[in-house]
Amino acid sequence: MSVNIVAFGNERDGFSEDNQQSSLIWSYLGRSALISETESSPLLNSANHIRNPIFTEYQACVFGNVRLVVHDCPLWDIFDSDWYTSRSLIGGADIIVIKYSVNDKTSFQELKDSYVPMIKKALNHCSVPVIISAVGARKNEVPCTCPLCTSDRRSCVTTSEGIQLAKELGATYLELHSLNDFYIQKYFGGVLEYFMIQSLNQKSSEKMKKRKKTQKCHRVKPPQLEQPEKMPILRGEASHYDSDLHSLLFCCQCVDVIFYSEDLKKVVEAHKIILCSVSHVFMLLFNVKSPADIHDAAIIRTAQSLFAVNNEAVFPVPSKGSSCNPPVRVIVKDSVFCSCLSDILHFIYSGAFQWEQLEEDIKKKIKDPEKIEHVLEKVKCILKTPGKLNNLKDYRSHQIKRLCNTSLRLFFNTPVLADVIFKIQGATVPAHRAVLIARCEVMAAMFNGNYLEANNILVPVYGVSKDTFLSFLEYLYTDSCCPASILQAMSLLICAEMYQVTRLQHICELYIITQLQSMPSRELASTRLSIVSLLRKAKFHNSDCLSTWLLHFIATNYLIFSQKPEFQDLSESRWYFLSYFGTKKKKKKERDRDSTDCCRFKIISIHLETIISEEECSVS
Residue 206 CB neighbour total at 10 angstroms: 10
Examine the fold and report which residue of 365, 388, 408 is the final residue of a domain before the chain moves on. 408
| 609 assigned to some structural domain | yes
User: What beta strand segments (E) does 432-478 contain?
Assistant: 458-460
Assess whether 508 and 553 both reside in one domain.
no
Please report the pLDDT score of residue 591 as a whole number: 57
Assess whether 20 and 41 both reside in one domain.
yes
User: How much is the average pLDDT of 486-505?
Assistant: 95
**CATH number for the domain harbouring residue 421:** 3.30.710.10
58 strand-pairing partners: 40, 70
| 538 assigned to some structural domain | no
- Residue 579: pLDDT above 50? no
Domain span at residue 483 reads 412-518
User: How much is the average pLDDT of 287-313?
Assistant: 86
Query: 58: helix, coil or strand?
Result: strand
**CATH number for the domain harbouring residue 151:** 3.40.50.300
Assess whether 168 and 315 both reside in one domain.
no
Q: How far is Cα 343 from Cα 364, in angstroms, rounded to an integer? A: 11
Examine the fold and report which residue of 408, 435, 457 is the final residue of a domain before the chain moves on. 408
| 14 assigned to some structural domain | yes
| Mean predicted lDDT score pLDDT of the chain | 79
Residue of 416, 276, 281, 413 lying closest to 349 (CA atoms): 276
- Residue 492: pLDDT above 90? yes
Please report the pLDDT score of residue 320 as a whole number: 45
Burial group, residue 480, by CB count within 10 angstroms (0-12, 13-18, 19+): middle
| 13 assigned to some structural domain | yes
H-run or E-run covering 332: strand 328-332
Q: What is the 8-class DSSP label of residue 525? A: H
Asked whether the beta carbons of 273 and 432 are under 8 A apart, the reply is yes
Please report the pLDDT score of residue 397 as a whole number: 47
263 or 118, which is more confident?
263
Burial group, residue 238, by CB count within 10 angstroms (0-12, 13-18, 19+): exposed
Asked whether the beta carbons of 508 and 490 are under 8 A apart, the reply is yes
- Residue 502: pLDDT above 90? yes
**Torsion from C-alpha of 604, 609, 614, 618, nearest 10 degrees:** 130
| 229 assigned to some structural domain | no
Burial group, residue 569, by CB count within 10 angstroms (0-12, 13-18, 19+): exposed
Tell me: the pLDDT tens digits for 592-618?
554 555 554 444 554 555 555 555 555
Q: How far is Cα 495 from Cα 602, in angstroms, rounded to an integer? A: 30
H-run or E-run covering 546: helix 544-556
Assess whether 400 and 419 both reside in one domain.
no
Examine the fold and report which residue of 391, 408, 425 is the final residue of a domain before the chain moves on. 408
Torsion-angle region of residue 378: left (phi > 0), alpha (psi -120 to 50) or beta? Answer: alpha
Q: How far is Cα 110 from Cα 115, in angstroms, rounded to an integer? A: 7
Assess whether 186 and 41 both reside in one domain.
yes
Q: How far is Cα 602 from Cα 567, in angstroms, rounded to an integer? A: 16
Assess whether 346 and 492 both reside in one domain.
no
Please report the pLDDT score of residue 516 as a whole number: 92
- In the chain, the largest separation of any two C-alpha atoms, in whole Å, equals 142
420 strand-pairing partners: 431
- Residue 565: pLDDT above 60? yes
- Residue 142: pLDDT above 90? no
SS3 helix, strand, coil % of the chain, rounded to 5? 55, 15, 35
Residue of 419, 380, 393, 359 lying closest to 278 (CA atoms): 380
Assess whether 421 and 565 both reside in one domain.
no
Could you tell me the pLDDT band of residue 394, with boundaries at 50, 70 and 90? low
Assess whether 452 and 577 both reside in one domain.
no
Highest mean pLDDT among 147-161, 224-238, 456-470: 456-470
Q: How much of the chain, in percent, has pLDDT values that exceed 70?
A: 74
| 284 assigned to some structural domain | yes
| 235 assigned to some structural domain | no
Tell me: the pLDDT tens digits for 431-473?
999 999 999 999 999 988 788 888 899 999 999 999 999 999 9
H-run or E-run covering 55: strand 55-62
Asked whether the beta carbons of 262 and 619 are under 8 A apart, the reply is no
Assess whether 129 and 278 both reside in one domain.
no
Assess whether 176 and 51 both reside in one domain.
yes
DSSP notation for 467-511: HHHHHHHHHHHHS----SSHHHHHHHHHHHHHTT-HHHHHHHHHH
228 or 580, which is more confident?
228
| 221 assigned to some structural domain | no
Assess whether 392 and 259 both reside in one domain.
yes
Q: Which residues of 143-172 are buried (b: 16+ CB within 10 A; e: fewer)?
A: beeeeeeeeeebbbbbeebbeebbeebebb
Assess whether 84 and 53 both reside in one domain.
yes
Number of structural domains, the chain? 4
